[in-house]
Structure 1
Amino acid sequence: MSTTIPERMRAGQWTSTSGGVENNLRVNTSAALPKNAAKLPADHTLVRVAYSTPNPIDWKLADTLPFIFSKPATPCLDYSGQVVATRNSALKPGDFVFGKTEPPVCGALGEYVVVGKAGCAPLPKAVSLKDAACVGVVGLTAYQCIIPFVKPGDKIFINGGSGGTGVFGIQIAKALGCHVTTTCSGPNVELCKSLGADEVIDYKTNDVLSALTRSGKQYDLIVDNVFATPELYWNAHKYLKPSGRFVTIAGQPTLYFLVETLKVFLWPSFLGGGQRKFSFVTANTKVDHYEKIAAWMAEGKVKAVIEKEFELEEAGKAFAHLKTGRTRGKVLIRVAKQEPSRS
């Protein structure tokens, strides 16, 4: 491949998030290349981006903490693409890679991005660039919510099975050999079953807390991808084994969420607080975790679920759709004008 690096690039960028980042994203056809693109730091890689996918963290940070970003800001952490130049000894120019950048740098909604070693994994030939772009934050988060806490044969309850993290969580749990119960709304029940869920609770027609209590099942792990309120945790002793753990990834940058989360951590069980171990998990970028997920994808055990695809010029629409909170799997944004050939 050509290693010529242009002086400018196309990128979806914002300078203000007043009214929501989705209403402020514009394509800059002469955006500056990432800092350090011409002189890469040790172990870093310059990637020509093919696809990116937005995550809730992308809009939550932009909308609530816009001052932490340099302007104009290029959002998105997740990417797939091709190596242009690298100081990572495990890679070479021309290799296809995927992973994520780190906030608040972000930058994956531009044609070029600089990525550290932990967030840049080789892409197996059997996995498409589109599917790989979806792994970034949600695939890694799902992996790290499940793998450390269970073993084959364990029972897992996943609250929120049809969103980005949920669809990966169901499949990773099944790849590990676990029994999976999950929740979703009625239209997504068949999707969750098709991903391997053994039992699905339609939260539109069932009270989830009551359904769990009535079932009599004792789970080894609960992963709450929703965490709208802590009620599932306060009552977890009814359906989570004493040795089990309650894990959540969700959260809102609000005073209510902060107060409720502090209660979970600080309110002792003898005063009516939670009676099970609680963990709040955020994705810790690790290349070997990406490699394991990619291997499962190559084997057909894990796949991406892409609800909609958008062009770079439509990035605002992609963010608006994500903000509805009703996304099935992921929304995909094509950053490159053309997908690079992998022949």
Structure 2
Amino acid sequence: MAPALPTTMRASRFSDTTGGLEKNLKLEDAPLPKDASTLPDGATLVKVEYASPNPVDYKMPELWLYRRLAMTLPAIPCGDYAGTVVVSKLAHLKPGDRVFGRSDPPASGSFAEYLVVLSNEGVVPLPDGVSMRDAATLGVAGITAYQCLAPYVKPGSKVLINGGSGGCGTFGIQIAKVLGCTVTTACSWPNVQLCKDLEADEVIDYRTTNPVELLKRNGTQFDHIVDMVGLPALYYNAHHYLKDEGVFILIAGAPTLSSTMDLLQMFCLPSWLGGGRRALKFHGRKNNAKEYATIAGWMKEGKVKAVVEKEYALEEAPDAFRSFKTGRTRGKLVVKVAAG
């Protein structure tokens, strides 16, 4: 029998994004997710304890066309979460189980006390010894870092990660090291020590050194490159420091005309017109329960940790987005959704 549920929940919602999501979020008593009482097959209702924002969580809602065609307003942002199972249509989950993962649209957002996760790939049992706060950071950043590295590297691979101090970058450094790689990363000088503490073998301060010119001079030949910032020059010059068979993975990009044009040029411009000479892939994260479990297992073993710059209460959700949008976040931000 399904447990008795309240009729409303605390949620940080928005009905408009004019001027930015952070100016429109309001803490309200909202209705429970529409599928909460009659879950579809394969779905799970979670009581959320922690959530964590990502760039996609504000970039997409702030796009007028996306908001108009793909969203029902008012809406609840974010999808990364950690919490406890209320009820599940999955045989391996039971009420009270600690879980984490990512809920993607059209399901409800994680800045709310209750969340419906429609796919079994987005809800994963949380190992004992891993906190919900840390697990909530894995939904996008952790899995993206894993998927950008694991299929392409092997022990001994030399990896370059551009943007080592952000959410994906801090996970990327650690995951690459777990996979046996030698890691070079680039970040700004305030974050150099952070990247060293995460065991990066070489850290380039891009504020004092042009990373592209330094890489060209050094002569190191990397097996794999992941650009978590979006620096076109890094790709156009990659033939100087990425092996012929190497792959350049790009994950960053803003939903703007200039960024879209940059991407089109990177993918379409032939090498004889100044385009890149190495394989280029744009990575789009995909929920994968087995991969989530692998990363959480490394967390339990102490091989990977969440770098959390600050924790916010749910009523402070606008401040979390405001801080996130500065582009200077070290690791991840988390929001404590559960009251108290």
Q: What is the TM-score with the length of structure 2 in the denominator? A: 0.96
TM-aligned CA deviation for residue 211 of structure 1: 1.2
Aligned to 1:110: 112
Q: Is the 8 A contact 1:69 1:105 kept in 2?
A: no
Task: Report the Cα distance in structure 2 between the residues aligned to 1:163 and 1:320, rounded to whole angstroms.
Answer: 16
Aligned to 2:160: 157
Task: Report the Cα distance in structure 2 between the residues aligned to 1:206 and 1:106, rounded to whole angstroms.
Answer: 44
TM-aligned CA deviation for residue 263 of structure 1: 1.5
TM-aligned CA deviation for residue 266 of structure 1: 1.5
The verdict on how the C-alpha distance between 1:224 and 1:106 changes in structure 2, with shifts beyond 3 A counting, is farther
Q: Deviations over 1:219-255 (max 9, x none)?
A: 011100001x411100000000001010011001111
Q: Deviations over 1:26-59 (max 9, x none)?
A: 1012x01112111111111100000001100011
Unpaired segments ≥5 residues, structure 1: 339-343
TM-aligned CA deviation for residue 270 of structure 1: 3.2
Task: Report the Cα distance in structure 1 between the residues aligned to 2:136 and 2:21, rounded to whole angstroms.
Answer: 21
Aligned to 1:61: 60
Q: How does 1:68-83 map to 2 (within 5 A)?
A: 68-83=70-85
Q: Deviations over 1:126-177 (max 9, x none)?
A: 1000000011101010000001111111000000000000000000000001
Aligned to 2:15: 15
Task: Report the Cα distance in structure 1 between the residues aligned to 2:212 and 2:47, rounded to whole angstroms.
Answer: 46
Aligned length: 335
Q: Deviations over 1:164-220 (max 9, x none)?
A: 000000000000010000011111111111111000001111101011111110001
Q: How does 1:183-262 map to 2 (within 5 A)?
A: 183-227=186-230, 229-262=231-264
Tell me, what secondary structure is at the counterpart of 2:100?
strand
Paired letter, 1:166: G
TM-aligned CA deviation for residue 265 of structure 1: 1.6
Tell me, what secondary structure is at the counterpart of 1:149?
coil
Paired letter, 2:74: P
Q: Deviations over 1:79-111 (max 9, x none)?
A: 000000000112111100000011354510110
Aligned to 1:93: 95
Q: Deviations over 1:311-333 (max 9, x none)?
A: 00000000000000000001110
Task: Report the Cα distance in structure 1 between the residues aligned to 2:182 and 2:62, rounded to whole angstroms.
Answer: 38
Aligned to 1:26: 26
Task: Report the Cα distance in structure 1 between the residues aligned to 2:107 and 2:323, rounded to whole angstroms.
Answer: 23
Please list every run of at least 4 consecutive aligned residues from structure 1 whose deviation after the TM superposition is greater than 6 angstroms. Answer: none
Aligned to 1:267: 269
Tell me, what secondary structure is at the counterpart of 1:261?
helix
Task: Report the Cα distance in structure 2 between the residues aligned to 1:133 and 1:81, rounded to whole angstroms.
Answer: 8
Task: Report the Cα distance in structure 2 between the residues aligned to 1:76 and 1:276, rounded to whole angstroms.
Answer: 34
Task: Report the Cα distance in structure 2 between the residues aligned to 1:103 and 1:209, rounded to whole angstroms.
Answer: 38
Q: Give the superposed CA RMSD.
A: 1.1
Paired letter, 1:152: P
Task: Report the Cα distance in structure 2 between the residues aligned to 1:173 and 1:323, rounded to whole angstroms.
Answer: 27
Q: Deviations over 1:257-290 (max 9, x none)?
A: 1122112221222333211000000111110110
Q: What is the TM-score with the length of structure 1 in the denominator? A: 0.96
Task: Report the Cα distance in structure 1 between the residues aligned to 2:8 and 2:252, rounded to whole angstroms.
Answer: 37
Aligned to 1:341: none
- The alignment-based identity, stated in percent, is 53
